[in-house]
């Protein structure tokens, strides 16, 4: 069979994976978005279902407001040992509450995860390794190198022998074990024990177009580690391949003895290279040469289409490539938001609520959409370069000066939106483009009705350029409202570590709104 990369499209970077029996579990970075650390499950590595999030309760972990695209939850690692799932990660918060490396755990990856257990060790990209002798080791990236410390877990059990609490402490000093091969930013370390070797897999070269994977090994976990003579063992740098920025890999052995790697990469939409989906999750086969060094992908390269004759994929169909797999629909009629939705920073119930008969209710906060504070915003990741999304908004009770609408959003300084606004008692349909400090607002028409259908499309323009096009429905006909270039909503122009969201939002005029606007449907179809 042939599968197509990415296996998880859109902003799902820094994948980490583990296997329990016939089941695979995967987690990703989430940065400033909440709920944080999405968790996925698969039986075959190419079809993934989201089970939930590790950070799902507002009081579980405080996310830093005010600095989008570069703070929040970095590079989680998921591991399983003796009935317990562990996820270790870093909350980068620049000195504010809950900053640092932490562990959450569960015995049910479909359920809730624990409150964070903070680890007094520096750096980012933390990882856990459970050795055969019961010892546990921490690796992290710090001060341009990879260091290790030994940890000790303590467990509290109930009367039935079930783990109800875990604590953790360091039992050794940190030791730097490798500085990589000379590329900048050695990070993303993972340790594996295979055939008597301890392998250390890391990323170098930064997280953009020079990203690469290097590997070293030792017979002793503390080293010394020898570098693979073929380093970098994996990178698409300086190639014409459509996938760029390959790095931050984790590997896993399937139940048939075959090895696989999951990694991040990006898919540019233009040249010079710019990408707007964020860094996505890709899958690549791993072999071993006669010297017991890994051979990753096609001689170290990542292809978009990969043929697999491995037993794991016998009779498997990749659902994400079907029309059904590219379609997401929500009428907001459940007890809780679907797992596909995110807020910015920690959310509270004061500005977002579900009503089974009315849909999603958003109460605009005093913060405008250009703010880096708490805004009433609910977003769905853009997962395809070309797509169509629609929503229906009821704004009958909007207050003077407030607004609500439909946005394509990179961050608070780079976004386009079609929205309704009440100005001097009149309800206007308006279109806004913000690119850095440049803001343009166009008044389209005065609205007579209390509700409106809005559409957003990502498509190719007449000259082949990538554009976002907004339209609205009037008298049964779709009318164009405005458009903006996709190039300005890319990581290389306006962002850093995240990708674009399609979002529903509301805001007040310097005050919190007493009345809600109502969204009763959302539809997304990728191309």
Structure confidence by residue, pLDDT tens digits, 215-245: 999 999 999 999 999 999 999 999 999 999 9
Residue 204: phi and psi, rounded to 5, are -140, 170
- What pLDDT is attached to residue 462? 86
- State pLDDT tens for residues 392-414: 999 998 999 899 999 999 999 99
Catalytic positions, written as ranges? 14, 187
Write out the DSSP string of 70-139.
SSEEEEEEEEEETTEEEEEEEEE-TTSTT-EEEEEEES-TTS--PPPEEE---SEEEEEEE-TTS-EEEE
The residue-averaged pLDDT of 55-76 equals 89
- What pLDDT is attached to residue 374? 85
The residue-averaged pLDDT of 294-315 equals 96
Both tokens of 517, joined, read 């606007």
| Torsion, CA 40, CA 43, CA 45, CA 47, rounded to 10 | -70
66 band by pLDDT with thresholds 50, 70 and 90: confident
Sole residue written with tokens 């930064």: 206
Which CATH number does 325-526 carry? 2.60.120.200
Element (H, E) at 8: none
- State pLDDT tens for residues 122-132: 999 999 999 99
Residue 290 has pLDDT above 90, yes or no: yes
**Does the N-terminal peptide bond of residue 274 adopt cis geometry, omega within 30 degrees of 0?**
no
97 band by pLDDT with thresholds 50, 70 and 90: confident
Both tokens of 241, joined, read 């391949």
The residue-averaged pLDDT of 260-286 equals 96
Task: Indicate the burial class of 86 (C-beta count within 10 angstroms; 0-12, 13-18, 19 or more).
Answer: buried
- What pLDDT is attached to residue 425? 87
Q: Map out the domains of the chain as residue ranges.
A: 2-321, 325-526
How far apart are the C-alpha atoms of 71 and 33, rounded to whole Å?
10
- State pLDDT tens for residues 452-463: 999 999 999 888
Which CATH number does 2-321 carry? 2.115.10.20
Report the predicted TM-score, pTM, of the whole model to 2 decimal places: 0.96
- State pLDDT tens for residues 349-371: 679 999 988 999 999 999 899 88
- What pLDDT is attached to residue 191? 98
């Amino acid at each position: 069979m042939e599968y197509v990369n990415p296996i998880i499209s859109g902003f799902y970077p820094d994948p980490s994976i583990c296997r329990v029996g016939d089941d695979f579990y995967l987690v990703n970075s989430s940065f400033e978005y909440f709920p944080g650390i999405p968790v996925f499950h698969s039986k075959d590595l190419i079809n993934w279902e989201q089970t939930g999030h590790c950070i799902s309760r507002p009081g579980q972990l405080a996310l830093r407001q005010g600095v989008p695209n570069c703070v929040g939850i970095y590079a989680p690692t998921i591991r399983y040992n003796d009935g317990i799932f562990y996820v270790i990660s870093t909350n980068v918060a620049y000195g504010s509450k809950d900053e640092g490396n932490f562990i959450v755990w569960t015995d049910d990856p479909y359920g809730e995860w624990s409150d964070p257990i903070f680890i007094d060790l520096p750096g980012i990209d933390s990882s856990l390794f459970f050795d055969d002798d019961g010892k546990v080791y921490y690796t992290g990236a710090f001060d341009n190198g990879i260091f290790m410390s030994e940890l000790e877990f303590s467990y509290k059990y109930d009367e039935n022998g079930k783990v109800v609490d875990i604590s953790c402490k360091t039992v050794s000093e940190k030791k730097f074990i490798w500085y990589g091969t000379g590329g900048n930013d050695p990070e993303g370390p993972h340790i594996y024990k295979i055939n008597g070797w301890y392998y250390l897999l890391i990323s170098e070269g930064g997280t953009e177009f020079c990203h690469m994977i290097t590997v070293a090994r030792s017979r002793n976990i503390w080293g010394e580690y020898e570098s693979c003579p073929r380093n970098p063992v994996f990178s698409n740098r300086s190639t014409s391949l459509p996938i760029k920025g390959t790095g931050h890999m984790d590997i896993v052995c399937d139940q048939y003895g075959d090895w696989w790697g999951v990694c991040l990469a990006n898919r540019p939409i233009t040249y010079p290279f710019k990408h707007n989906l964020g860094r996505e999750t890709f899958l690549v086969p791993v072999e071993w040469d006669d010297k017991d060094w890994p051979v990753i992908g096609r001689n170290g390269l990542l292809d978009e289409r990969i043929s697999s004759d491995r037993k794991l994929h016998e009779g498997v169909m990749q659902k994400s490539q079907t029309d059904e797999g590219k379609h997401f629909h929500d009428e907001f009629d459940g007890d809780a938001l679907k797992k596909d939705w995110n807020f910015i920073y920690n959310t509270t119930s004061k500005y977002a609520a579900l009503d089974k008969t009315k849909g999603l209710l958003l109460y605009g906060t005093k913060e405008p959409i250009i703010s880096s504070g708490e805004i009433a915003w609910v977003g769905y990741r853009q997962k395809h370069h070309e797509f169509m999304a629609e929503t229906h908004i009821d704004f009958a009770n909007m207050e003077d000066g407030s607004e609500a609408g439909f946005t394509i959003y990179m961050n608070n300084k780079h976004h386009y939106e079609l929205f309704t606004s009440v100005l001097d008692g009149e309800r206007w349909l308006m279109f806004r483009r913000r690119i850095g400090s440049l803001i343009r607002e166009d008044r389209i028409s005065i609205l007579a009705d209390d509700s409106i259908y809005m559409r957003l499309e990502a498509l190719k323009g007449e000259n082949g350029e990538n554009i976002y096009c907004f339209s609205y429905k009037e008298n049964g006909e779709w009318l164009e409202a405005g458009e903006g270039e996709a190039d300005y909503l890319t990581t290389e122009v306006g962002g850093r570590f995240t990708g674009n969201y399609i979002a529903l939002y509301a805001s007040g005029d310097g005050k919190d709104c007493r009345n809600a606007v109502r969204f009763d449907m959302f539809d997304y179809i990728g191309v």
